[in-house]
Chain A
Amino acid sequence: MVMPSLAVRLAGLELRNPLSVASGTFGSGREYSAVWESSVESRCAPNQGAPALSALGAMTTKGVSLRPWPGNQGTRIVECASGMLNSIGLQNPGVEEFCANDLVWLSGQDVPVIVNVCGHSADEYVQVIERLERETAVSAYEVNISCPNVDCGGMAFGTQPAAAEAVTAACRAATKRPLFVKLSPNVTDIAEIARAAASGGADALSLINTVAGMAIDVRTRAPVLPRVVGGLSGAAVKPIALYAVHRVSQAVKLPLVGMGGVRCATDVLEFMLAGATVVAVGTHNFTDPLAVLRIRDGLTDWCASEGVARIDEIIGGLRI
Chain B
Amino acid sequence: MSEHADGFAGGGAHGPARTAPLTPLLESCTVLANDMLAPGVALLRLAAARIAGAVRPGQFVHLALPALEAHPLRRPLSVFCADAESGSIELVCQAVGEGTRHLLAAAPQTTIDCIGPVGRGWSPPPAARRVLLVGGGIGAAPLYLLARELTTRVAHDSRVASEVHLVLGAQSARALVCKEAFARLLAPDALHVTTDDGSEGVKGLTTEFADWLLAQQCFDYVATCGPAPMMAAIARLAAQNNVACEVSLERRMACGIGACLSCNVDMRDGVRRACVDGPVFDAQEVSW
User: B4 near A: Cβ within 8 Å?
Assistant: yes
The interface centre, meaning the residue of A73, A91, A283 with most chain B CB atoms within 10 A of its CB, is A91
A105 near B262 with CB under 8 A, answer no
A88 near B72 with CB under 8 A, answer no
B74 near A287 with CB under 8 A, answer yes
A31 near B258 with CB under 8 A, answer yes
The CA-CA distance from A6 to B6 in the complex, in Å, is 35
- Considering only CB atoms, which chain A residue lies closest to B27 in the complex? A40
B6 near A91 with CB under 8 A, answer no
| Contact A286 to B8, CB < 8 A, known contacts A76-B264, A79-B99 | no
Majority SS at the chain A contact face: loop
Contact string against A for B residues 131-160, beta-carbon threshold 8 Å, 1 for contact and 0 otherwise: 000000000000000000000000000000
Contact string against A for B residues 153-178, beta-carbon threshold 8 Å, 1 for contact and 0 otherwise: 00000000000000000000000000
A286 near B254 with CB under 8 A, answer yes
Which one of B18-26, B219-227, B230-238 contacts A?
A: B18-26
| Contact A77 to B262, CB < 8 A, known contacts A35-B26, A68-B8 | yes
A235 near B258 with CB under 8 A, answer no
Within 8 A of B (CB), among A1-48: 24-27, 30-32, 34-35, 37-41
Which A residues lie within 8 Å of B5 (CB)? 101
B259 near A26 with CB under 8 A, answer yes
Which B residues lie within 8 Å of A102 (CB)? 6
A289 near B115 with CB under 8 A, answer yes
| Contact A81 to B259, CB < 8 A, known contacts A30-B3, A97-B6, A288-B64 | no
Which A residues lie within 8 Å of B256 (CB)? 286
User: A51 near B: Cβ within 8 Å?
Assistant: no
The CA-CA distance from A136 to B69 in the complex, in Å, is 41
Tell which of A35, A82, A97, A286 touches B260, judged by Cβ atoms closer than 8 Å. A286
Tell which of A24, A26, A35, A234 touches B23, judged by Cβ atoms closer than 8 Å. A35
Which A residues lie within 8 Å of B271 (CB)? 70-71, 91
The CA-CA distance from A81 to B72 in the complex, in Å, is 8
A35 near B262 with CB under 8 A, answer no
Within 8 A of A (CB), among B1-31: 3-8, 23-26
How many interface residues does chain B have, given as a range? 35 or more
| Contact A68 to B259, CB < 8 A, known contacts A234-B72, A288-B64, A289-B115 | no
Tell which of A79, A83, A91 touches B261, judged by Cβ atoms closer than 8 Å. A91
| Contact A27 to B252, CB < 8 A, known contacts A38-B23, A82-B70, A234-B72 | no
A286 near B73 with CB under 8 A, answer yes
User: A94 near B: Cβ within 8 Å?
Assistant: yes
Which A residues lie within 8 Å of B25 (CB)? 38, 40
B259 near A32 with CB under 8 A, answer yes
Q: How many CB-defined contacts (below 8 Å) exist between A and B? A: 120
Within 8 A of B (CB), among A84-104: 84, 86, 88, 91-94, 97, 101-102
Which A residues lie within 8 Å of B72 (CB)? 79, 82-84, 234-235, 283-284, 286-287
Tell which of A25, A70, A92, A290 touches B270, judged by Cβ atoms closer than 8 Å. A70
User: A78 near B: Cβ within 8 Å?
Assistant: yes
| Contact A88 to B258, CB < 8 A, known contacts A77-B252, A82-B70, A286-B74 | no
User: B102 near A: Cβ within 8 Å?
Assistant: no
- Considering only CB atoms, which chain B residue lies closest to A44 in the complex? B26
User: A285 near B: Cβ within 8 Å?
Assistant: yes
User: B266 near A: Cβ within 8 Å?
Assistant: yes
Tell which of A31, A83, A283 touches B259, judged by Cβ atoms closer than 8 Å. A31
Which A residues lie within 8 Å of B253 (CB)? 77
The CA-CA distance from A135 to B271 in the complex, in Å, is 28
| Contact A76 to B26, CB < 8 A, known contacts A84-B73, A286-B72, A288-B64 | no
The CA-CA distance from A1 to B5 in the complex, in Å, is 47
Which B residues lie within 8 Å of A290 (CB)? 26
Which A residues lie within 8 Å of B252 (CB)? 75-79
The interface centre, meaning the residue of B64, B115, B259 with most chain A CB atoms within 10 A of its CB, is B259
Which A residues lie within 8 Å of B115 (CB)? 35, 289
User: B257 near A: Cβ within 8 Å?
Assistant: yes
The CA-CA distance from A78 to B251 in the complex, in Å, is 11
Which B residues lie within 8 Å of A25 (CB)? 255, 259-260
A sample of 19 inter-chain contacts (CB < 8 A) reads A27-B260, A30-B259, A31-B255, A41-B26, A70-B270, A73-B266, A77-B253, A83-B72, A84-B72, A86-B254, A86-B262, A88-B261, A94-B7, A97-B6, A101-B5, A102-B6, A235-B69, A286-B255, A288-B113
The 4 closest A-B pairs by CB, nearest first: A93-B7, A27-B259, A31-B259, A34-B23
Binding site for B on A (CB under 8 A): 24-27, 30-32, 34-35, 37-41, 62, 68, 70-73, 75-79, 81-84, 86, 88, 91-94, 97, 101-102, 105, 234-235, 283-290
Known: A31-B276, A283-B254. 16 other contacts (CB 8 A): A25-B255, A25-B259, A27-B260, A30-B4, A35-B24, A37-B23, A41-B26, A71-B264, A77-B253, A78-B252, A84-B72, A84-B254, A86-B262, A91-B271, A285-B259, A287-B74
